[in-house]
Structure 1
Amino acid sequence: MTTETAVAAAPAGETPQRRAARGRIDPLLAAAALLPVAAVAVAVVLLGSAPYRVLGPNVPDLGTSLTTAVLQGIAGVAAAACAGGLAYGVLARQRAGERRLVVDWFGDARLAAVSAGVWAVAAAALVAADAADAGGQSLSRLLVPGAPGYLFSYSYVPTAWLVTALLAAAIAVTAFLARTWQTHAALLGVALVAVLPPVVVTQVLVGPNHDFGSDAAIVGTPAAAVLLGLIGVARLRTVAGPLPGLVSLRRTWVLLGLAWAATTATEVVIALFELWSSPFLGSATAWLFLVRFVLLAALAPLIAQGLRASRGATDLAAVRRTSARLVRIALLPAALLLGVALIMARIPPPQYFVPTSVNQTYFGYDLESAPTLAVMLFDWRPNLLFLLVSVVGAGLYVAGVVVLRRRGDAWPVGRTVAWVLGWTVVVLTTSSGLGRYSSAVFSLHMILHMALNMLGPLLLVLGGPITLALRALPAHGRSAAAGVREWIAAMLAWRVTHVLFNPLFVFIRFIGAYYVLYFTPIFDFALRYHWAHQLMNAEFLVVGVMFYGLVIGVDAPPRPIPHIGKLGMVLAAMPFHAFFGVAVMTSKDVIAGDFYRYISEPWAGNLLADQATGGGIAWGAGELPLVIVIVALVTQWARQDGRVAARTDRHLDQGTDDSFEAYNAMLAKLQSRDREPASAAPGAAAAPAAAPERDA
């Protein structure tokens, strides 16, 4: 037996040395965990006050800087361990049998829970420590009345660490309590999000082209956490068990390859962003980037060799030996990668000192000309995040269609066209001139909102991606480890998914987003920061897919509703859209007026008039897709009724439909039951026997 479950259940197959290792701390793994913390601590001592002097006169004492750096190192190591442990347990761990979607405590959950707990404590401590460090004050300053509030508002770093601490604490508690694969898959997503707040509000948010840098960091930071953490987890499993099986080894190396590719690609983008206006190797940041690329290059042949050794292999012992040797070598460059990243976070990069306009401060780029039709069509600026998601989404779908075609199965061309067109809409609205100017012009933003929230999702749900995946992906029996197909099925059956797709919840979220976003300060906040703007656009797309997936989607939703319910949802949404559009059109207050007045575009006209135009777009563009949905929904309803009627007629003609016979039998049974009391004598023995029949 090669599954890890079998290995863990039968320790007799292990050597005495390996059984003894379960109770010991691996020196190599401990050294790899301490190396990043030691590296950033030494760097703080060597750098002294220089990184602070270039930014302002305030300089914290060495104790404050050292405490903050050590806490950042601990948080970084714990975050990588948590992300790597969850990635291994969710995506790589080999289980078989009826409990293959059940996570065990010692093999999976313990590492995630403990590392997340350490991560949460370190992040919570950094709320205060990083507030003092970023403000150039000592930790003792936090004891002065009024000082904590000022230091916490000095930068967004304390708030970012607070968000991370709360998310990490949630992971720790949930990983300790939950044992289902679905819950741990969700925790993996939370962990990948939790590493982002301290990153997206610091260096990648400053300077020209920070939209590129932020998008690259949003993708690269979680990928780097998985890359570094998974190497450490692979070492832990090698020395302390449960020993990985062939499936686990293959999947681990595949995950490492994907994480390495994402980390390297995004690192190139971030390097270009931070070093674009500086001389080659003319700064400490440039040299540190060079070190990171050397370390990534050192990992590349190790990962490639691991992929080759595990692909198609049948000799488990040989693959384990090869993997153990490669992971042992990879630990050093992985630990150094994290250490260099921690050091770079404490050194102001060159783009900090590049002259920046108001538009570049908020958007990352200038808006030189008025948004004419020609500018909308031809003045493109790639939105890297949505471009990547669109390309990956369309590529995976086409790959699934190709798998079906090669297998001889048909797949409707219309669904493929709808899916590709849906992602095309996403790319056009986020990367064309419309996306470029949408943050500066309210009416253009409303066009983007309608496209991402209605037109794009409407096309995407007609593609039926879940149905395609379940048909194209191979099934794995109970005796084999679960694969992607089983994971999708498990997520669809998960109770949390059923709650999230509750029609009432989806309806309130779909409609309420308009009122909560635009009639509160949230919209003004989202316009000022690239990460918040991307989060807002993602929310538009996700909510639209959920709503239209329920009412018109090809895929069967987790909580299906009848056609009359679907029609009711769409009809109920229409007046809310209309009222929102009218409210925006007739409002005398400019939505996000302070922001629009501050950027003060020279070609901008009357803000209230532009807002009225945006309200009209929301009204008209919001109603039209809903009318189209109603027509399509009624058509689907009629076709389904026609199919049911045709199937019934066919069964009647073939004599295979016994519904009428069953109905007549039921009537005869009821009639005979009603006659029994009249025919039986009072007090007869048969009377008690009839009572259960009546109760039933």
Structure 2
Amino acid sequence: MPSPTAPGDHAITGSPVIGSGTRRAAGLLLLTALAPGVALGLLFLSDGLAATSLPGLPDSGSVTRWGLPVVQAVRDASATVAVGVVVLAATCLPTAPGPSAGSGGGSRRVSSTQRLLLKVGAVTAMAWAWSTLAMLIFVYADASGEPVGGEGFWSQAWYFATSFEPGRYLLTGAALAALLATACLMIRRPEGMGFAALVALAGVWPMALGGHATGSLDHNRLVELQLFHLLGVTVWTGGLVGLLVVRRHLGENLGPVVRRYSRLAGWCLLLVALSGISGAALRLPGASALTTSYGAMLAVKVAVLSAVAALGWWQRTRIVRRIESGASSAFARLAFYEVVLLLTGAGAGVALSRTNPPTPETDPSLSNAQALLGTDLPPELGIGEWFTQWKPDLIWLTVALAMTAWYLSAVLRLRARGDGWPLLRTIAWLLGWLLVVWATSGSPGVYGRVLFSMHMVQHMTIATAAPTFLVLGAPITLALRALPRRTDGSLGPREWLQEALRSFLAHLLTLPVVTAGMFVVSLAVFYYSGLFELSLESHTMHVAMVAHFLLTGFLLANCLVGIDPGIHRPMFPLRVVLLMVTFGFHALFSVSLMSSDQVLAPDWFSALQRPWGASLLDDQQFGASLGWALGDYPLAILAGALIVRWVASDRRERRRFDRSEARTGGQVMADYNAYLSRLGKLDGSLEPSRDPAPPPAPESTGERQE
């Protein structure tokens, strides 16, 4: 007799995904060839595949002209499926109960449907890796004008891959895709799916760096918009493909999974629409540009996405209810049509990336500042510029808006069910993200790559001031109270937060000595190595720098004054020592930088040819003094919060002891007084006392976990 199948662990047998025999093969062939075919067709119609006619420029040959869009389309399609199916498996599909789940252990394991999606993810991630490597070869051939396989071609291609940014982006993308394929094959527990999903989403970043924004004057903002666009498209399209793969194996779970995916797809649609409109507005000089070949391809992509949006609305309003009533064939047809349209849009995106957008008739020469910063040099910094100079950093602005909206909605959810939440915590959270936005999009963000002093303002705000307020907002406590709990075995935001808090990495990073060490050591390593200059040159390193110092500052502040669970916190006297030592080292670093006559990142700051302001050394010494001074007010906030927490902890401990004494009739205090009385009656002889061990002291200096 076969063993029963656990919920969420349906057997992988039965009818095929789209059809049987010839229909299934034809459908898979159509999906495979759709994106490359659309890309080639649009490029052919716009003469994008024609040989170069400019005199003096070498031609890489027809193999490169036709092969590059094909491998790019394969890369984009395989990456889309790989990212989408892994995210779908990690967030929407139920897991299976593990061996100890029945005995209360709560252990879970990857279900068979999730394993099926992970196999699809492994295959498509490997195709992603190989097609990226092939694309690297064609990109070098196209840039150098040399045919593939010529004399010295392979050594020069390797030099291009390791020494130039476009080559490094492609090589990094191939490495991340290979890592994703390996992870998908090795995953055995649900926790591994979280790691695979993070790797998959990280693999989108190199694709954004090498997309349409390459070579644009407003490069950084276009890269950020391209990142949001690709994240929305990959999760949306790949998730649909994943649903088509596993829909017959989900059984009664199909309705909840589709409903959950539909909500995710709705957010992806919003992300794709906003990023696409914003990117087009930045690239196109005016409405007349819509009549060009670039504008026509953009119109095709907009029409495709509009059709998909209409189908998605139909799915959420009509089809989901029919699925829950037992009819799933309508969903399969609708999802297949959506995938076809989305892959058509992916092909149009490839054609767009191979077509130069129209540019206004201006002087094409760039100044040093424009070439390095991707924008004009800002005006001389004065009092007014501290408040009037703004340039949105779309990544951190989006994160701040999302975190603020989530926090406020969570507080409203608590109040709707009758639970309170302190107003001061909400104010602290809003103030923390306001500081992050000002540091990245306000004057510190505008001048941070031009003046070392403003970079130091940005650094201190991100590493010390903003994290302190964010910690005082107690976001983890709010999330655990407000996020809904899933009961079908799938892992939602609350479940993934709990997994993260229980992980070995979280336990390691929240150890007080590790937290303080990260904060102190990373400060010296960052500025006294090449990482500082690299963060000025590379947008990727700049984003990583902000994320690192925001995280280390958050961990340190949470260790000192936080109330969120999952954090190792020492006794209050040790916290005072930790605070003094950490900020003392920070002050020592600032003093050493003030007394130094060696300019950090001199090549970068000199190349900007800034015509105003102090000299490089004077500005650096002024920035070091600002770093010293700006460390005082976060220190004062942390010290004040630490004192308040200490006093509150002692009061709670006192009340706990009073309640215990009231229940026992003062027995603990009586025993302690009797022990002191016996000690007083000793005659002072040298004979060791045989008095029993003393009872516990009536008060404790430790903090009770909230």
The TM-score bracket by the shorter chain reads: 0.7 to 0.9
Find out whether 1:366 has 2:376 as its counterpart: yes
Find out whether 1:159 has 2:192 as its counterpart: no
Question: Could you tell me how far apart the structure 2 residues matched to 1:487 and 1:643 are?
Answer: 32
Question: Could you tell me how far apart the structure 2 residues matched to 1:332 and 1:581 are?
Answer: 58
Q: Give the equivalent residue in structure 1 for 2:566.
A: 557
SS in 1 for 2:216: coil
The one-letter amino acid of 2:35's match is P
1:552/1:201 CA distance change after superposition, 3 Å: farther
Q: Give the equivalent residue in structure 2 for 1:519.
A: 528
1:307-360 CA-partner distances (Å, limit 9, x unpaired): 223667783413x33422320221221110111112222222335986344333
Find out whether 1:649 has 2:658 as its counterpart: yes
1:663/1:324 CA distance change after superposition, 3 Å: farther
SS in 1 for 2:593: helix
Give the one of 190, 210, 218 matched to 2:219.
210
Q: Give the equivalent residue in structure 2 for 1:67.
A: 67
SS in 2 for 1:651: helix
Q: Give the equivalent residue in structure 1 for 2:497.
A: 488
Q: Give the equivalent residue in structure 1 for 2:354.
A: 346
Find out whether 1:9 has 2:10 as its counterpart: yes
1:471/1:55 CA distance change after superposition, 3 Å: farther
Give the one of 320, 327, 332 matched to 1:324.
332
Contact 1:209 1:360 survives alignment (8 Å) = no
Q: Give the equivalent residue in structure 1 for 2:110.
A: 103
Give the one of 267, 270, 279 matched to 2:279.
270
Contact 2:180 2:200 survives alignment (8 Å) = yes
1:646-688 CA-partner distances (Å, limit 9, x unpaired): 2012111122998789999xxxxxxxxxx9xxxxxxxxxxxxx
1:557/1:58 CA distance change after superposition, 3 Å: farther
The alpha-carbon deviation at position 76 of structure 1 amounts to 1.4
Question: Could you tell me how far apart the structure 1 residues matched to 2:55 and 2:634 are?
Answer: 51
Find out whether 1:87 has 2:97 as its counterpart: no
Question: Which stretch of the first structure deviates more once superposed, 123-132 or 158-167?
Answer: 123-132
Question: Could you tell me how far apart the structure 2 residues matched to 1:30 and 1:367 are?
Answer: 51
Question: Could you tell me how far apart the structure 1 residues matched to 2:56 and 2:542 are?
Answer: 29
Give the one of 293, 301, 313 matched to 1:284.
293
1:163/1:144 CA distance change after superposition, 3 Å: closer
Contact 1:394 1:420 survives alignment (8 Å) = yes
SS in 2 for 1:317: coil
Q: Give the equivalent residue in structure 1 for 2:131.
A: 122
Question: Could you tell me how far apart the structure 2 residues matched to 1:246 and 1:288 are?
Answer: 36
Q: Give the equivalent residue in structure 1 for 2:141.
A: 132
Which structure shows the bigger proportion of residues in helix conformation? 1
Q: Give the equivalent residue in structure 2 for 1:612.
A: 621
Find out whether 1:408 has 2:418 as its counterpart: yes
Contact 1:208 1:351 survives alignment (8 Å) = no
Question: Could you tell me how far apart the structure 2 residues matched to 1:538 and 1:460 are?
Answer: 14
Q: Give the equivalent residue in structure 2 for 1:420.
A: 430
Question: Could you tell me how far apart the structure 2 residues matched to 1:506 and 1:205 are?
Answer: 38
The one-letter amino acid of 1:276's match is P
Contact 1:237 1:243 survives alignment (8 Å) = no
Question: Could you tell me how far apart the structure 2 residues matched to 1:216 and 1:474 are?
Answer: 31
1:128/1:244 CA distance change after superposition, 3 Å: farther
The alpha-carbon deviation at position 92 of structure 1 amounts to 1.1
SS in 1 for 2:563: coil
The alpha-carbon deviation at position 540 of structure 1 amounts to 2.4
Question: Could you tell me how far apart the structure 2 residues matched to 1:55 and 1:637 are?
Answer: 77
Contact 1:131 1:155 survives alignment (8 Å) = no
Query: TM-score, length-normalised on structure 1?
Result: 0.86
Contact 1:461 1:553 survives alignment (8 Å) = yes
The alpha-carbon deviation at position 601 of structure 1 amounts to 1.7
Question: Could you tell me how far apart the structure 2 residues matched to 1:115 and 1:559 are?
Answer: 41
Find out whether 1:315 has 2:315 as its counterpart: no
The alpha-carbon deviation at position 242 of structure 1 amounts to 6.9
1:123-179 CA-partner distances (Å, limit 9, x unpaired): 234343432333222222473586345534674222111111221222221221122
Question: Could you tell me how far apart the structure 2 residues matched to 1:126 and 1:551 are?
Answer: 49
Q: Give the equivalent residue in structure 2 for 1:38.
A: 37
1:238/1:644 CA distance change after superposition, 3 Å: same
Question: Could you tell me how far apart the structure 2 residues matched to 1:613 and 1:76 are?
Answer: 47
Find out whether 1:474 has 2:484 as its counterpart: yes
Give the one of 461, 466, 472 matched to 1:462.
472
The alpha-carbon deviation at position 218 of structure 1 amounts to 2.4
1:241/1:125 CA distance change after superposition, 3 Å: farther
Question: Which stretch of the first structure deviates more once superposed, 179-188 or 560-569?
Answer: 560-569
The alpha-carbon deviation at position 389 of structure 1 amounts to 1.2
The alpha-carbon deviation at position 404 of structure 1 amounts to 0.8
The alpha-carbon deviation at position 371 of structure 1 amounts to 1.0
The count of corresponding residues between Structure 1 and Structure 2 is 661
1:7/1:193 CA distance change after superposition, 3 Å: closer
1:53/1:424 CA distance change after superposition, 3 Å: farther
Question: Which stretch of the first structure deviates more once superposed, 499-508 or 324-333?
Answer: 499-508
Measured on the aligned residues, the alpha-carbon RMSD in Å equals 3.4
Question: Could you tell me how far apart the structure 2 residues matched to 1:74 and 1:589 are?
Answer: 49
Contact 1:22 1:240 survives alignment (8 Å) = no
SS in 1 for 2:213: helix
The one-letter amino acid of 1:346's match is R
The one-letter amino acid of 2:263's match is V
1:428-480 CA-partner distances (Å, limit 9, x unpaired): 22222332122211101110111111111110011011111111123344x56
SS in 2 for 1:373: coil
1:208-250 CA-partner distances (Å, limit 9, x unpaired): 3333312212222222111221122222223676785221010
The alpha-carbon deviation at position 116 of structure 1 amounts to 1.7
Query: TM-score, length-normalised on structure 2?
Result: 0.85
Q: Give the equivalent residue in structure 2 for 1:540.
A: 549
1:265/1:538 CA distance change after superposition, 3 Å: same
Find out whether 1:261 has 2:262 as its counterpart: no
Q: Give the equivalent residue in structure 1 for 2:600.
A: 591
Identity over aligned residues, as a percent? 26
Question: Could you tell me how far apart the structure 1 residues matched to 2:563 and 2:360 are?
Answer: 49
The alpha-carbon deviation at position 94 of structure 1 amounts to 3.0
Give the one of 305, 317, 331 matched to 2:314.
305
Give the one of 395, 404, 419 matched to 2:405.
395
1:129/1:394 CA distance change after superposition, 3 Å: same
Question: Could you tell me how far apart the structure 1 residues matched to 2:259 and 2:395 are?
Answer: 28
Question: Could you tell me how far apart the structure 1 residues matched to 2:139 and 2:252 are?
Answer: 40
The alpha-carbon deviation at position 32 of structure 1 amounts to 1.4
1:205/1:589 CA distance change after superposition, 3 Å: farther
Question: Could you tell me how far apart the structure 2 residues matched to 1:504 and 1:55 are?
Answer: 64
The one-letter amino acid of 1:229's match is G
Question: Could you tell me how far apart the structure 1 residues matched to 2:202 and 2:154 are?
Answer: 34
The one-letter amino acid of 1:342's match is V
Find out whether 1:574 has 2:595 as its counterpart: no
1:205/1:588 CA distance change after superposition, 3 Å: farther
Contact 2:161 2:171 survives alignment (8 Å) = no
